[in-house]
Chains A and B, each alone.
Chain A
Amino acid sequence: NAGVTQTPKFQVLKTGQSMTLQCAQDMNHEYMSWYRQDPGMGLRLIHYSVGAGITDQGEVPNGYNVSRSTTEDFPLRLLSAAPSQTSVYFCASRERGGLNTQYFGPGTRLTVL
């Protein structure tokens, strides 16, 4: 049981490049989400999904796309990277409904030059 996994761990992009951050979980959780962590700002929700085929925007969705074709995977796509997207990205998952504990992946540190 690996929990929530993310790849890559580190990434450097040039402005305008696109890329996909991968996230997978093996706990059969219906809910998955992406957060970004910037210094002094805590974690902010980018996008989330309440099940395969269902996604929605969080607090800071601009510049990012997501899709959820399977329960296990929830990739985050940066369409045209900008320096403002330099951040640490966390994927998380939890069971449906209620107030269940959220489990986080190890994070991806992204730098956009």
Chain B
Amino acid sequence: AQKITQTQPGMFVQEKEAVTLDCTYDTSDQSYGLFWYKQPSSGEMIFLIYQGSYDEQNATEGRYSLNFQKARKSANLVISASQLGDSAMYFCAMRESAGGTSYGKLTFGQGTILTVHP
């Protein structure tokens, strides 16, 4: 069974500094995808970044990068130059590869609340 662990219930960072949000996963699948979502206080789920298990390079999307260490089964999110608007809940999620009628369930971690201080 797949499992996602986010060990940091809350994180604090000063504006303009970088912050790393931890995520470890457990799966027996060889092909899987790792996702990070942001959930601001307004409640919507916003997709941030994706990393495939066969991708050799770490994914980057603007100020977001994913530090993927396959052997350690970790997929940490790095936010550079934090902004006040980055204050939100962040979820790490994993999905096994889907094919045919196999859906590929998305399994979520419990989330990390990030607070950016001015």
Interface size class on chain B is 20 to 34
- Answer whether residue A113 sits at the interface, using C-beta atoms and an 8 A cutoff: no
Q: How far is the CA of A69 from the CA of B47 in the complex (A)?
A: 28
B100 contact set on A, CB distance < 8 A? 97
- In the assembled complex, which residues on chain A have CB atoms less than 8 Å from the CB atom of B52? 99
Chain A positions 44-81 with a Cβ under 8 Å from a chain B Cβ:
44-45, 48, 50, 54, 56, 58-59
B residues near A42, Cβ cutoff 8 Å: 4, 91, 108-111
Pick the residue among A50, A103, A106 that contacts B47 (CB under 8 A): A103
Q: Is A102 an interface residue (CB 8 A)?
A: yes
Known pairs A42-B109, A58-B105; A106 contacts B99 (CB<8 A): no
Mask of B9-51 contacts with A, CB within 8 angstroms, 1/0: 0000000000000000000000111010100000111010010
Main secondary structure of the interface of A (DSSP, over half): strand
CB-based contact B104/A99 at 8 Å: yes
Residues on A with beta carbons closer than 8 Å to the beta carbon of B104 = 99
Give per-residue flags for A76-96: 1 if the beta carbon is below 8 A from chain B beta carbons, else 0. 000000000000101010001
Contacts of B83 in A (CB 8 A): none
User: Given A90-B45, A106-B44, A107-B43, are A99 and B95 also a contact pair (CB < 8 Å)?
Assistant: yes
4 additional contacts (CB under 8 A) given A48-B105, A58-B105 = A42-B91, A42-B111, A43-B91, A101-B50
On A, residues with C-beta under 8 Å from B are 31, 33, 35, 40-45, 48, 50, 54, 56, 58-59, 88, 90, 92, 96-99, 101-104, 106-107, 109
